[in-house]
């Protein structure tokens, strides 16, 4: 039996509401953790209408041993932009309420890598970020031209809010940027101007990812459309043109294109070493190459071979994941928790025997990446079930946005005795974006962490 945690020894119980810690009322898990690291933590607790005082004695830095329900204890700072490319505006009605929450909160940027536009950032926020060194942060740039950026955000503060980015960089905060490239809006000459602006005004920026907008069938914005093959190729060309410039001027490539651009344009993915550690993997940059390296070589090739970095960057998750499934402990905590459903045992056939065929469930883009890789590792007999995203429609083809309804439809006519592997990037606490649970699928599936090593282990276990 495990020893009780310091919080448990002090009398803290599940369901208790912590009102203060050492006389302070923490606003979020960041302040909570700073206080919880102290050797003595005095807690004011509410339990069933009763107010209690508890004292936790422990070693400095020792975990308190309490799980908290949310990363933010006050209100989430919501987004007041009205970007025409915002995917949340493209969600159908009737989904889980939390999925419609637009955040623009620097704390969620620090904790989970959410991108913030900084339009609601304040002097007090800057002071806190610097004092507590909340780094890295993730900032949506979209355009460095003030007028273009304001039009894209549909917020006049968007013209000036990148001044906060300059101040963050001036104070040694590591910042990663993104540009959601919208055809006819901020591509072409505007994109070139943005890259010039980054080099001129924000050369300390750690990375900048160019990512395509997602267009679902629910969009009401007539100007928003998917990239053509030629437009996707132009974005790749811009990256190939600018990486050597940044490399000569700054010593690093800085700008990267999302994998989707290479798939759309039919171009090969860059070599592993040109991703410089896969820092923006969760933003769709280098996922395919990283997965390939893990599958073929068993390692996540981060720059410098840092094991902690490997653990951080190997976690890939779906959109909106922080709202329900993200753990609140620690800083930059990985968001993925593996949920493994039991393997169905079919009468007359033992579970786990080699006679059971394996099928990997994936999105349409994922299937294009996986097919040659499975052949390369001698698993050409593994079937790929490329699920078309009918729920969202449009150009949505990434695995992370698959819904339970579409997966269920694809599985419905499949043999019951088959073995089906589902990447956990689709899930938050065992649930798809449309609220369907893994247990509600018509076939039992095994949920596998979304990295090459985990898939390889799963295939070898059959």
Q: Decide if 196 is inside a domain.
A: yes
- Write down the pLDDT at residue 290: 93
385 and 325 in contact (C-beta within 8 Å)?
Answer: no
Q: Decide if 303 is inside a domain.
A: yes
Distance CA 96, CA 79 (A): 18
What count of Cα atoms within 13 Å lies in the side-chain half-sphere of residue 299? 12
Q: Decide if 64 is inside a domain.
A: no
Ordered DSSP codes for 243-257: HHHHHHHHSS--EEE
Q: Decide if 375 is inside a domain.
A: yes
**Domain match, 49 and 102 both:** no
Total number of domains in the chain: 3
225 and 272 in contact (C-beta within 8 Å)?
Answer: no
What are φ and ψ of residue 45, in 5° steps?
A: -125, 140
Give Dmax (Cα) for the chain.
Answer: 69
| Domain enclosing residue 445, as ranges | 358-460
- Write down the pLDDT at residue 170: 98
Q: In CATH, what number is assigned to the domain containing residue 41? A: 2.30.42.10
Strand order in the sheet with 50-57: 17-21, 40-47, 50-57
Distance CA 387, CA 389 (A): 6
Q: Decide if 353 is inside a domain.
A: no
**Domain match, 265 and 363 both:** no
**Domain match, 318 and 378 both:** no
CB atoms within 10 A of CB 32: 21
Three-state DSSP at 51 gives strand
**Domain match, 308 and 396 both:** no
Q: In CATH, what number is assigned to the domain containing residue 288? A: 3.20.20
Q: Decide if 319 is inside a domain.
A: yes
Alpha helices in 175-228 (DSSP H): 188-201
Q: Decide if 111 is inside a domain.
A: yes
- Write down the pLDDT at residue 71: 87
**Domain match, 250 and 375 both:** no
The residue whose two tokens read 């439809």 is 409
Distance CA 66, CA 14 (A): 8
**Domain match, 96 and 144 both:** yes
**Domain match, 105 and 232 both:** yes
Q: Decide if 94 is inside a domain.
A: yes
- Residues 6+ away with beta carbon under 8 Å from 276: 207, 252, 253, 303
**Domain match, 307 and 380 both:** no
**Domain match, 385 and 453 both:** yes
CB atoms within 10 A of CB 387: 25
- Write down the pLDDT at residue 352: 41
Q: What 8-state DSSP symbol labels residue 422?
A: E
439 and 390 in contact (C-beta within 8 Å)?
Answer: no
Q: Show which of 325, 340, 368 is a domain's final residue.
A: 325
- Residues 6+ away with beta carbon under 8 Å from 49: none
**Domain match, 48 and 91 both:** no
As a dihedral over the C-alpha atoms of residue 196, residue 199, residue 201, residue 202, rounded to 10 degrees, the angle is 130
Q: What is the pLDDT of residues 135-167, one digit of tens each?
A: 999 999 999 999 999 999 999 999 999 999 999
Q: What 8-state DSSP symbol labels residue 53?
A: E
**Domain match, 22 and 137 both:** no
Which residues of the chain fall below pLDDT 70? Answer: 1-2, 298-356, 462
Distance CA 248, CA 241 (A): 12
- Write down the pLDDT at residue 356: 64
**Domain match, 236 and 94 both:** yes
Cis peptide preceding 43, ω within 30 of 0: no
Q: Which two tokens stand for residue 158?
A: 């968007």
Three-state DSSP at 118 gives coil
- Write down the pLDDT at residue 93: 87
- Write down the pLDDT at residue 68: 86
- Write down the pLDDT at residue 302: 52
């Amino acid at each position: 039996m495990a020893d009780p945690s310091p919080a448990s020894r002090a009398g803290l119980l599940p369901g208790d509401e912590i009102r203060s810690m050492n006389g302070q009322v923490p606003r979020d898990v960041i302040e909570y953790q700073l206080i919880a690291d102290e050797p003595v933590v005095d807690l004011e607790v509410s339990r069933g209408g009763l107010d209690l005082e508890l004292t936790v004695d422990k070693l400095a830095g020792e975990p308190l041993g309490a799980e908290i329900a949310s990363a933010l204890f006050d209100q989430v700072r919501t987004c007041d932009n009205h970007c025409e490319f915002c995917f949340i505006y493209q969600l159908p009605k009737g989904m889980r309420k939390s999925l419609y929450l637009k955040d623009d909160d620097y704390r969620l940027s620090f904790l989970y890598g959410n991108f913030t536009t900084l339009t609601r950032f304040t002097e007090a926020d800057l002071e806190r970020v610097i004092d507590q060194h909340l780094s890295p942060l993730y900032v949506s740039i979209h355009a460095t031209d003030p007028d273009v950026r304001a039009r894209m955000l549909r917020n006049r503060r968007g013209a000036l809010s990148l001044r906060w980015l300059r101040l963050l960089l001036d104070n040694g905060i590591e910042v990663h940027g993104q540009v959601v490239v919208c055809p006819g809006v901020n591509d072409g000459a505007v994109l070139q101007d943005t890259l010039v602006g980054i080099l001129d005004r924000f050369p300390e920026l750690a990375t900048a990812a160019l990512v395509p907008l997602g267009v679902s069938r629910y969009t009401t914005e007539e100007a928003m459309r998917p990239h053509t093959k030629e437009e996707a190729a132009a974005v790749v060309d811009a990256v190939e043109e600018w990486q050597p410039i940044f490399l000569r001027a700054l010593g690093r490539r800085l700008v990267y294109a999302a994998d989707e651009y290479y798939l759309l344009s039919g171009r090969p993915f860059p070599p592993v070493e040109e991703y410089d550690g896969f820092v923006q993997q969760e933003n769709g940059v280098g996922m395919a190459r990283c997965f390939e390296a893990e599958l073929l070589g068993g390692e996540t090739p981060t720059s410098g071979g840092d094991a902690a970095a490997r653990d951080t960057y190997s976690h890939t998750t779906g959109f909106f994941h922080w709202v329900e499934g993200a753990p609140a402990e620690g800083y930059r905590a990985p968001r993925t928790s593996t949920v493994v459903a039991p393997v169905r045992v079919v009468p007359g056939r033992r579970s786990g025997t080699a006679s059971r065929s394996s099928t990997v469930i994936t999105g349409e883009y994922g299937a294009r990446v996986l097919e040659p890789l499975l052949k390369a590792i001698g698993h050409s007999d593994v079937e790929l079930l490329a699920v078309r995203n009918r729920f969202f429609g449009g150009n949505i083809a990434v695995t992370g946005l698959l819904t339970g309804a579409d997966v269920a439809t694809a599985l419905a006519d499949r043999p019951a005795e088959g073995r089906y592997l589902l990447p956990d990037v689709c899930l938050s606490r065992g649930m798809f974006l449309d609220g369907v649970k893994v247990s509600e699928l018509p076939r039992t599936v095994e949920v596998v962490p979304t990295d090459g090593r985990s898939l390889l282990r799963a295939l070898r276990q059959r």
